[in-house]
Every structure is written in structure tokens, then in C-alpha cells.
Chain A
Amino acid sequence: MAYNWNWGVFLQPTATGDDTYLGWMFYGFKMTIALSLSAWLIALAVGAVVGILRTVPNKLLAGIATAYVEVFRNIPLLVQLFLWYFVMPELLPEQLGNAFKQTNPILQQFLASMVCLALFTSARVAEQVRSGINSLPPGQKNAGLAMGFTLAQTYRHVLLPMAVRLIVPPLTSEFLNIFKNSAVCSTIGLLELAAQGRQLVDYTAQPYESFIAVTLAYLTINVVVMFGMRWVEARVRVPGYIGAK
């Protein structure tokens, strides 16, 4: 194979002259991190609330939460992204829709991507929160209530502290997924890591270097997340409980 390896390409100034190609990659890297982290925080908050609601005795609230989960996890991520970016601004009240369309296009792409990733992931987080709560012995809830806790206090002091500990490992997968899923947002033009990789190919005709760099960047993010979550897992481990050392 006659391929001309050229790792020096990253240090060359870009065709538009505003940066080096490494600078472009770094821009995409930062965009991926900002997008994924902000979406993750929203996903955790919304997912926690929805997941808790799925386990409450009130049938109406539990039903609404179930419907939420089914909608957001059963529509493909790409379709959801197009809906948020192309369709949603048209459905908003006219003034709000126009205001959105007049903002900076990068901000438009970022906001649509963030909301899309956040809500898609929140449905999955919700399922994990629910399974965490449901995996606790049923007597725990009774024990909390029997001591005079209200239902809310029972969740706050008894059920959630244990449920959250139990779901740290699956939440780690979800956290990793959100970084990987963020690549989908390149389809609406957001210049995150994957998009910058493709752009590099177009400009430099060095696809191997570009995609190897992109791969390593995603890998770096995920290794950091993995070790971070492992640390969290060790920190919240309950002495004498299953899985503890």
C-alpha cells in the first residue's frame, strides 16, 4: 500500500490559516467534552427524578415517568437530534422559535445537541435509578416508614443512598456512552471531535492520521472517565456490604 504517512500534518497551519490542524482537533475535543459533560449533568438530574417517579406508589406520576422513558429510549438518537434541531424551532411559539433561529448558529447546534443527548440519556439513567431502587430489599422502605419517615424522607435517607451506590457501575457505562453518542451531533454541523476528524481528512488527505488521532482522543476521555468512576465506586463502597473488600 502506497500511503504517505505524515504525522507532521498536525503542526501545519490550516488551509484557512487561522490555526494548526492540531488546533482544530483540540477545538473538537473541547466541544465534545463541553457538550457531553453539560448533557450528562442534565441527564443525571432529569434521570434521577424520572427514575424515582417510576417507583412511587402514585400511579399517575409513575405512568407519566414510564411514558417519558419509553418515548426517549425508543426513538433513534439520530432522529431525535433532527427533531430537536430542525423541527422543534418550528413548533415553538413563533417569537421564541425566531429568537432561537437568530442566535449564533454554533450555539443553536450546541443547544439542540445538548438537549437531545441529555434527554436521550436521561431515559436510560432513569431506568438504572429505577432498577437500583427496586433491587433493594422491600423491607428497607418499610423500615424507613416504620421509623416515622415520610415517603420523601425514606427515599432521601434510606433508599437513594444505597440505590445510587448500586448503580455506579452501569452509570459508568452510560457516562462513557454519552461521549461516544456525542459524535452523532456532527450530522447537524456541530464541530465536535468526529466532525473535526472528517474535516481534517478533507483538508489534508491524511485519513489514517486523522482518524487515529480522533480514536486516541475518545480513548483518552473514556479512560479518564473510567478511572474517575472507579475512584467514585471505591469511595462510596459500604464496608461489609456485597462488593466491598
Chain B
Amino acid sequence: MISMNKVSKHFGTFQVLTDCTTQVHKGEVIVVCGPSGSGKSTLIKCVNGLEPFQSGEIIVNGVSVGDPKTNLSKLRSTVGMVFQNFELFPHMKIIDNLCIAQVKVLGRSLEQAREKGSKLLERVGLREQAEKFPGQLSGGQQQRVAIARALAMDPICMLFDEPTSALDPEMVNEVLDVMTELAQEGMTMMCVTHEMGFARRVASRVIFMDQGRIVEDDSKEAFFQNPRSERAQQFLAKILHH
């Protein structure tokens, strides 16, 4: 579904990504981890063209992201994305956050959109919050809304960019629960996260990045039991001891 081939990116002389190559098949859940500044977020933003890259190729569902002829808006409407800081639209009610792109991008009627939106809110347990504004919700609730908003577009795959990093610890699980459920239903997902419990539960593969390179790309069992690179061993030792 997503295939990356030797993707490289630099800001000026600073190399952010170097020859990143990987595949994500339908139904797979890929967890991307690594130290900060390793290029994880940049990599995931390249998938839907939010970050341009200079060389290499990314194919999403048969469409080349880097091709200047590609209609990026259309491609993005099929790829859901959830951000670290939720990025709900603060001036719209929750339900309108879920409806706006359905109506303006997919051309659904407002009625259809609201029905779909209500169902998804129900699913993330926030039906009662539909008429509130994002600023009136807790971080965990906002992130669940953000996931519902992405799902409202019926995406073929979902990208998560550190979805729990900005949350209070007690709200992390409500978001991970929604993500886990989604993974179990067979959604294709690419998640940048440090939640190794989540990775152990649902990941098909783990990608470990360091200094803009994909250092490990392996099944979760192999990654957690005996990571091959020294850098990954150090990383795991640091984040798993508690």
C-alpha cells in the first residue's frame, strides 16, 4: 500500500533523511521509533506530501507522491493523519470538525456527513461532546476526536505522528485503546510513537530510525528480543527500564 524507495531529504546542507526504503502492506501496523531528531516525523509527513523530499520515490496506493503531476489534495484525502497536537479546528464545533472535509472535499451532503460524524464520535466514546468546541475538551478527548475526524474521510490508511506525546499520562491509554481497536479491525497504520506497549500489542513491524536512516526494519519479536544494531539496543535499554 505504501512503498518507499531510497527517500532522501535535506534542508540546505543538513541531511534529514537518507535512503529510506520500506514497504507497508495492506492491514499492517508499522511502528516507527527512534531518538528525537532521527527523522521519524519527517518520514511520516513525506508519505502524504506534507514534507517534500529531494530524491527517491514514495508510492501510496499506486500514486507517486513526489511526482509534480500528482493531485496531492486528492491523495491526501485518502490518507488519514493524526498529529501530536491534535490540530482540531478551534472555531468549529466538534461535529463540524468531523463534517467539514467530508462536505468540502468528498462532496457529501451535510446530512450524510453528520450521520457519519455522529457514528464515529459514538465509536470513540464522545457522542455527548458533539456540540462543544475543541477548547472545551481534554487533550485525550481532542485526540480521539482527531482520530474520528480522520476516519470520517474513509481513509485507506492512517498516519499517526506521535499521537500521545502531548498528552497527560492518564490520557494516553484512552487514545491508545482507540488506536488498538483500529489496528485490530485491519486498518493499515503507520505510527510514530514511543509507546512500546502499544508496539508490542499491535505492531506488525517496527522501524527504528537514527540520524535520518532506517536502521532496523523488522518484526516486533525480532526487534524487541534481539535488536541487531547497537543504537537500537541502547535506545530500548533507555526507554524500557520502567
When distances are taken between beta carbons in the complex, the residues of chain B under 8 Å from A100 are: none
A157 touches B104 (CB 8 A): yes
Q: Which residues of chain A are within 8 angstroms of B133 by Cβ–Cβ distance?
A: 238-241
Asked if A149 contacts B105 (CB within 8 A), the reply is yes
Task: Please choose the segment from B10-18, B79-87, B114-122 that sits at the chain A interface, where 4 or more of its residues have CB less than 8 A away.
Answer: B79-87
Evaluate contact between A244 and B104: CB separation under 8 angstroms. Answer: no
Interchain CA distance A127-B88 in the complex, whole Å: 26
Interface set, chain A 118-147, CB cutoff 8 A to B: 137, 139-140, 142-147
Q: Chain B: interface residue count, which band?
A: 20 to 34
Residues of A within 8 A of B135 (CB): 238-241, 244
Known contacts A238-B90, A238-B133: A146-B50 contact under CB 8 Å: yes
| Chain A residues whose C-beta falls within 8 Å of the C-beta of B106 in the assembled complex | 148
Whether a CB of chain A sits under 8 angstroms from the CB of B204 is no
Contact partner of A147 (CB less than 8 A), chosen from B90, B101, B134, is B101
Give how many A residues have a beta carbon under 8 Å from the other chain's beta carbons: 23
**B interface footprint on A148-159 (CB within 8 Å = 1, 0 otherwise):** 111001000110
CB distance from A18 to the nearest CB of B (A): 53
Shortest beta-carbon distance, B121 to chain A, in Å? 17
* Chain B residue at minimum C-beta to C-beta distance from A244: B135
Question: Chain B 33-76 against A: per-residue CB contact (8 Å), 1 yes, 0 no?
Answer: 00000000000010010100000000000000000000011101
Distance between Cα atoms of A153 and B83 in the complex (Å): 20
- Chain A nearest CB: distance from B97 CB in Å? 10
- Chain A 207-245: CB-based contact to B (< 8 A → 1; otherwise 0): 000000000000000000000000000000011110010
Q: 14 A–B contact pairs at CB < 8 A?
A: A139-B87, A140-B87, A145-B50, A146-B48, A147-B149, A148-B74, A148-B78, A148-B106, A149-B105, A153-B105, A161-B89, A162-B90, A238-B90, A241-B91
